[in-house]
Chains A and B, each alone.
Chain A
C-alpha cells in the first residue's frame, strides 16, 4: 500500500519538479516586484488554456519537435548532433531558394518540393560531420557546432546580398508566393500544419527504431558498437544514416519556419531552436514519442513565458531564469530512479524483514 503510494509519487516526479521550480521562480518574481499568481495564471493560459495560447504553443511544436528528433536519432547511435541549428538554417535557405525560383504550379507539389529542398539542405549539412566522423573519426560535436556558425552566416550573407528583397528595411528575401504557404490549422493564428507533420514523423521514427531491423541495428550500435560490428551491422552506414536523417528533420524544421510562419528567408530566423532541440532530446532520453511530450512542454513554456511578459510585465531576465529553473529541475528529476532511491531501500529492508518473519511464523506452525 505504502509502496504503491510511493511509487506513484515517484512516477509523478516531473510534476513535483515543475512545482518546485515554480515555487522558486515565484520567489524571483516577488523579488522583482510582481504578482507571482497573476504571472503564473498567464503562463499557463498563455501556454495551454486559451485558443491563442494553444495556437502559439502549436506553432512552436513544429521546429522544437523536429529539432528534438534531429538530435534524438543520432543520439541513438551514440552521436551528439549539436548542429541542428545550422541544419535548420540550411533547410530554410534551400526551401526559400526553391520557393522563390519555382515555376507556377499547384500548391501541393510546390510545397512538397520546397519541403524536400529543405530536407536536402539539412541533409547535406549533416552529411559533412557524418562523413568526417565515419571516415576520419573527427569529433562530431565540434564539427556540427562550428558548422552552425557557417550556416547562420551563409544565410545572413544570402539575405543581405544576392537574395535581399528590393528596398528591404532588414536583411530578408522576397516573399514566397501564397500558394506555397503551409496551411494554417487554427484560423486567425500562426498554428500551421508543421506541428502535425512533426508528430507524424516522430511516430514514424519510433516505429522505425522499435520495429525494424534498421532501428534495431541503430540501437545496438548506440549501446555497443563492437558487438554491432560483430553482428555484421555496418557501423559507418548507420552512423551516416542516422545523422543524415537527423539533418533532414532539422532541415524540414527550417523549411516549415519559412513556408508556415515567416514566408520569407530572414537573417537570424531561427530563435535557437536547434539548441532547444538538444534539451528536448535529453528530456525525452532520445525516445521519439517522449520527444513529442518534451517539445510540447518546452513550446508551452516558451509561449507562456512570452505571455507572462506581455500581460504582467515581468522582465524577460526573470522569465528566462524561471524557464531555466523548470528545465533544470525536470531534467534532474528524470535522472532519479525509484529503484535506486533511499525510499526503495527502506521498503526493500521492510520486505526482507517481513519475509523473515513469515519464515519464522511458518516454521513455528510446522514445529
Chain B
C-alpha cells in the first residue's frame, strides 16, 4: 500500500506554507536515522501506539535506523528532542501538537536536523509539520450526516477546543449546511478526552436537544458517545479508525486518518532527501486519510455523491 505512495503524498499536499527555502541537507552514505518522542505509553492503543507503530513500520519497510522515547513529560520534551539531534539523528519527530514549541526551539539549536511535529501547523527552515486537512474530513462527514438526518438538528461533540477539534467542527457545520442550510448544529466540549461516562452524558444531552445524528471526536470517551447514540437510536460516526464493524447499527461512516501511513510515507520522502521545512497537510482521499466502510443504510446515490465530493476535495476543485 505504501510503495510508491510518495507521489500520492506529494500530490496530497494542499498547502505548503512558509519557508521552503532550503532542503534539510541529509547525508547519503551513512544509514538514515529517525527518532520519535511520544508523550504517553506505546501500548495505549491510541495516539502513542500509532506513533510507535508508524516508526517501527518505517524501520521494517524502509530499512532505516529508528529510536523512540515514550512517556516523555512536558518539561522533558525539549531535552529529548535536542538529545536525539545531538546523537546525529537525521529526522526527529515530536508526536503531537503539544510539541510545537519544543520542536521550534530544538530546531533553532540544531539546524542540521529536520524536526517534525505531527498534528502541528508550524514550519521553518528545518521544521516540518505533518497533519491532515481536518476541515475536509469534517465536511464529508457533515455531508453524509445531513443526508441521513431529518435536517433540523445535529450534534458535534469533543473535549477541548484545540485545532483538530475546531477544524473538524467547522468542516462538519459547512458540510451539513450544504444540504440543510437552516439546520442547527449543537456543539459540546467536555474537557475530558477519556472519561467514558462524561462523554456518554454529553452525547445523550445532544440527543435530548433534538440531534438525530452526532459526530464525536474523543479518545477513550468515543466509546461512551457511541453507546449513547446506540441506545438512543441515532446515527453517529467514527474517527481515526474504521469502527463500522464494531458498531454496525450506529456508525454510518468513519473519518480514517492513519498517522502510521503518513509517518512511513514522510520518512521515505525524507530519506530520499525530498522532505522540506513545510506543513504537509494530507487531504482526504489519500492512503493515509480516507473514509472507512459505508453503512448499508446509506442510499446508493448518497455514497456516489460522497465519493464524488472526496474527488473534488482531493483534486482541489472544492476549496473550503
Where the two chains meet, the residues of A that have a C-beta atom closer than 8 Å to any C-beta of B are 52, 56, 59-60, 63, 153, 156-157, 160-161, 164, 167-172, 175, 188, 190, 257, 261-264, 266-273, 302-303, 306-307, 309-311, 313, 316
Contact = CB atoms under 8 A, between A and B. Distances in A.
B79 interface: yes
B120 A169 contact: yes
A105 to B, nearest CB: 24
B83 A169 contact: no
Contact of B70 (A60, A271, A307, A316): A316
B220 to A, nearest CB: 16
Interface in B59-74: 67, 69-74
A310 B161 contact: no
Contacts of B35: 310
Interface string B137-169: 000000000000000000000011111101000
Interface of B: 35, 67, 69-76, 78-80, 82-84, 86-87, 96-98, 100-101, 109, 119-121, 131, 159-164, 166, 189, 191
B110 to A, nearest CB: 9
A307 B75 contact: no
| Interface-centre pick from A60, A175, A188, A261 (highest chain B CB count, 10 A) | A261
B109 to A, nearest CB: 5
Contact of A306 (B74, B80, B166): B80
Given A170-B100, A172-B98, A161 B76 contact: no
A262 B73 CA distance: 12
A16 to B, nearest CB: 30
The 6 closest A-B pairs by CB, nearest first: A169-B97, A271-B73, A160-B160, A170-B98, A170-B97, A169-B163
Contacts of B87: 310-311
Given A269-B74, A309-B69, A169 B98 contact: yes
A168 B131 CA distance: 13
Most chain A beta-carbon neighbours within 10 Å: one of B72, B101, B164: B101
A232 B101 CA distance: 54
A171 B83 CA distance: 25
A190 B79 contact: yes
Q: Tell me which of B76, B119, B121 has the highest count of chain A C-beta atoms within 10 A of its own C-beta.
A: B76
Nearest to B78: A190
A273 B97 CA distance: 23
A308 B74 CA distance: 18
Contact of B121 (A60, A167, A175, A272): A167
10 contacts: A156-B160, A161-B189, A161-B191, A169-B119, A257-B75, A264-B101, A303-B76, A306-B80, A313-B67, A316-B69
A160 B189 CA distance: 10
Given A263-B101, A271-B76, A167 B191 contact: no
B53 to A, nearest CB: 16
